[in-house]
Amino acid sequence: MVILLFRQVWLAETFQMIYSLSETFKGNNLFPNRLPKSKETLKSMKTDPASAKSFLEQLVNSENKYRLLADSVTDVIWVLDMENLVIIYVSPSVERLIGYPPEKVVKMGLQQFLSPESMGRIYDVLEESLAEKDEPDRRHIRLELPVLHQNGSIVRIEVTPRFLRDERREPVGILGVARDCTERLNAEEKLRRSEERYRTILDNIEEGFCEIDLNGNILFANDAACSISGFSHAELFRMNYRDILDEENAARMSESLALILQTRKPVKGFDYELIKKDGTRRQVETSIMLMTDKHNTPIGFRGVGRDITQRKKEERKRKQAYEELDRRIAERTLELAETNHSLQEKTLRLEEANIALRVLLKKKDENKKSLENQMMTNIIELILPTLEKIQKIGLNDRQQEYAEMIRTNLNHITSPFLHTLSQNFSDLTPTEIQIAGHIRHGKTTKEIADLLNLALSTIDFHRKNIRKKLLIHNRKINLRTHLLSLE
């Protein structure tokens, strides 16, 4: 803005301000002839003293106005002695830029601020500009230079120089505007690094990244997108997304883009099939979002997608496996149903057989009871009366004792005790049952031994076993009393 303001008026009026500030304007020469020997083009440029002085005197009335303007701007305005490259005027804002006050700067040479490389660039630019005889000042010069700050740090500045010319269009000085561009350059560098990092990430991720405009023309695609589609970057940039989709998938994509444009909400997990350069088809899953400019106006779409062809194949295989599993389960279920039906029929037959068996067992029990009753009846009505008659015919003592034992045992048979004992204590041997019967009737060990013709130790052994099997071993319970309680 400052350059546009001064481009016309400073070519004349501002130089009066320079003349009044500079102590170098003495004698007949406006600029002393002191230029580095290596720059012959600038050294050859001389100014007619009378012409320059006349030119300056015509503009003396404008000095105060433009001094106030120059002193107020935030950019640094400076004027340079064209021969020895010494600053002869600088605006007060220079102190904010490089730390030196303006009165000190006008006494310093450029080499105190700039490196030899920067000085070389300035010489080259001035030579090129002075060589343009046909169209002087045709080029707009802008330089970015590092400047040494008073505190030793480096400040990056943007310099816009321009020749000051007299009425004959001869250069009589150099006017320039400088501004601190450190923040801009840092921002540009940060942006460059960010873009580089962004590009590095996009070029190294496995997902394809693509940007298209509102008409579907491809604006950008990363390496993964090229790999998925089979086309190179140059080929994709000349294509529309419809070029790699069949009619059905192109229609689905258009519907999704229209929905995103309408709602401004991204679409995630959008599946479609693209046609590669070699004609093969790939399944792609994409998330698509809207791109807008700084005014939030839609300018296109960007999407991130991955090749899911293999995943789709595996899903189809899993689906087929599940279907096959379902079929086998259905077949097995039918087989199990048939088997269950068969088992139910067998169970029914077994239940019928069980019923028949229970009937038979009941009948057997009835027959057994009938037989027992008949046997008891025979013992009571036939055997016992006969035994009594035998005992009355004059038996000796020994015979009488045996007869009594027979009668007693027959009474035991007809008694429920022995039946109960044999039923509840099935592990008792027949001899133990016989001995238990004698004990119950009050027989001593010796009497039992004599009756059974066994040793006393044998009878004692059986008594101990009977106590163990009746679960009264080592208990202070009389065996006969316990046997009587079992009746």
Instruction: Summarize pLDDT for 173-216 with one digit per residue, the tens.
Output: 888 898 888 888 888 888 888 777 767 777 777 889 999 999 99
Q: Does the pLDDT of residue 417 top 70, yes or no?
A: no
Per-residue model confidence (pLDDT) at position 7: 37
Whether residue 166 has pLDDT greater than 80: no
Q: How far is residue 286's CA from residue 228's CA, in Å, rounded to a whole number? A: 12
- pLDDT attached to residue 414: 60
Look at residue 419 in the predicted model and tell me its pLDDT. 60
Structure confidence at residue 16 (pLDDT): 41
Higher pLDDT, 171 or 359: 359
**Whole-angstrom distance, CA of residue 27 vs CA of residue 257:** 77
Higher-pLDDT residue of 75, 372 = 75
- Domain closes at, from 255, 286, 307: 307
Asked if residue 48 lies in contact with residue 28, where contact means CB atoms within 8 angstroms, the answer is: no
What is residue 235's predicted lDDT score, i.e. its pLDDT?
94
Tell whether the model's pLDDT for residue 277 goes beyond 50. yes
Residue 29 belongs to a domain with what CATH number?
3.30.450.20
Q: Look at residue 43 and tell me whether its pLDDT is greater than 80.
A: no
Q: Say yes or no: 478 and 461 in one domain.
A: yes
**C-alpha span between 456 and 214 (Å, rounded):** 122
pLDDT at 25 over 60: no
pLDDT digits (tens, 9 = 90+) for 145-165: 888 888 988 888 888 888 888
Across the chain, mean pLDDT equals 79
261 found inside a domain: yes
Question: Residue 409 domain-assigned?
Answer: no
Does residue 401 form part of some domain?
A: no
Query: Residue 196's pLDDT is what?
Result: 76
Same domain for 261 and 373?
no
Residue 42 pLDDT greater than 60, yes or no: no
Range of the domain at 300: 205-307
Q: For residue 35, is pLDDT > 60?
A: no
pLDDT, average across residues 385-399: 78
In a domain, 283, yes or no: yes
Tokens of 199: 């590009």
The model's pTM is 0.41
Q: Taking Cα atoms as reference points, which of 208, 223, 381 lies closest to residue 302?
A: 208
* Closest to 54 in 3D by CA, of 173, 164, 166: 166
Q: What is the pLDDT of residue 41?
A: 45
Residues 164 and 74 in one domain: yes
Same domain, 227 and 122: no
Total tally of structural domains belonging to the chain: 4
On the question of pLDDT at 222 being above 80, the answer is yes
Last residue of a domain, one of 132, 156, 187: 187
Residues 74 and 127 in one domain: yes
Sheet with 87-90, strands from edge to edge, namely 87-90, 76-80, 171-180, 154-165, 143-148
Q: Are residues 180 and 87 in the same domain?
A: yes
- Mean pLDDT of the region 442-455: 83
Please give the structure tokens belonging to residue 428: 């008792």
Average pLDDT over residues 415-433: 70
Assign residue 465 the CATH number of its domain: 1.10.10.10
Residue 98 resides in a domain = yes
Is there a single domain that holds both residue 469 and residue 434? yes
Residues 387 and 452 in one domain: no
140 is a domain residue: yes
Q: What is the pLDDT of residue 60?
A: 41
Please tell me whether residues 213 and 278 are part of one structural domain: yes
pLDDT attached to residue 18:
41
**Domain-ending residue, one of 140, 161, 187:** 187
Structure token digits, residue 252: 């689905």
pLDDT the model gives residue 73: 63
Confidence of residue 461 (pLDDT cuts 50, 70, 90): very high
d(CA 98, CA 356) in angstroms, rounded, equals 121
Does one domain contain both 19 and 153?
A: yes
Quick one: average pLDDT of 349-361?
Answer: 91
User: Which one, of 110, 99, 254, 251, lies nearest residue 176 by Cα?
Assistant: 110
Residue 367 domain-assigned?
yes
pLDDT exceeds 50 at position 392: yes
pLDDT of amino acid 328: 92
- pLDDT tens-digit series, residues 294-344: 899 999 999 999 999 998 899 889 999 999 999 999 999 999 999 999 999
User: Is the domain of 332 the same as that of 289?
Assistant: no
pLDDT of residue 458: 92
* Residue 216: partners with Cβ closer than 8 Å, 6 or more residues away: 240, 241, 242, 257
A 10 A CB-CB count for 92 gives 15
What is the DSSP secondary structure assignment for residue 27, as one 8-state letter? S
Please provide the DSSP assignment of 82-114 as one string.
Answer: TTT-BEEEE-TTHHHHHS--HHHHTTSBGGGTS
Helix (H, G, I), strand (E, B) or coil at 43: helix
Instruction: Give yes or no for residue 457 having a pLDDT over 80.
Output: yes
pLDDT for res 197: 72
Give the pLDDT score at 325. 92
**Residues 173 and 114 reside in one and the same domain:** yes
Percent of residues, the chain, with pLDDT higher than 90? 29
Identify the pLDDT of residue 451. Answer: 73
Q: Please classify residue 126 by burial: count the beta carbons closer than 10 Å to its beta carbon, then call 0-12 exposed, 13-18 middle and 19+ buried.
A: buried
Q: State the pLDDT confidence band at 421, using cuts at 50, 70 and 90.
A: low
45-68 tens-digit pLDDT:
444 555 544 544 554 445 555 555
Q: Is residue 249 part of a domain?
A: yes
Residue 272 has pLDDT above 80, yes or no: yes
Which residue would you say has higher pLDDT here, 103 or 7?
103
